[in-house]
Structure 1
């Protein structure tokens, strides 16, 4: 299946932070993103979430990811927020509750193909007993 998505990542850069370190935090989770420095923030664009999906699998947080994607889902895509400090370490940590004092990394995913649901299933498949469920088995 061909996936066509546009990913926009925005991370604030506080006065106490080094801009390049914030850019590195974004690249740690989204290595294929094209990163630009704007006034007071980093803005990045990507067209794949493959590495991010690998991290979700490695950290065994697929159910958490699916829950977070569903909270801010639209018919055209979904959004979620990540903790910047964890991203510095290459770790996915969804931001829930109050925003971090350094500001959260906001990720907006626009899905053109396939459907939003199919794309979410691709990057964070449903699980059974903590293991991804084979998509062919789910259709039975």
Structure 2
């Protein structure tokens, strides 16, 4: 599989390349399965005739579906963070400027810009640093840059 880097604008420098990792995808799928298992347990425990076998099978199937989806969507992808923008694996980019609005999400960092489809970063380690960088850029008042 050949990887092509997106073209950079004149004077733009790459600060970081974020690659999805199998460990992060596994951790995300494990956490989602644990939360779903707790929810399934609360629902099933409230009903008469609780069956542990069916419960464990349903949690295992849920975990397999989540893990398969994560591996299919995010395995081997990379995002490029430059001093001016974030470029997703398909080449779409998000300019980092003070007009960017950040919405907090639970399971993914979604970045939307000027009506384009959202850029989603899943399965990538160290999202906290990226999120802090984007927030600091987004919350800098104009004229103070």
Query: Looking at CA atoms only, which structure, 1 or 2, has the larger radius of gyration?
Result: 2
Fold conserved between structures, TM > 0.5: no
TM-score by length of 1: 0.31
More helix by share: 2
TM-score by length of 2: 0.30
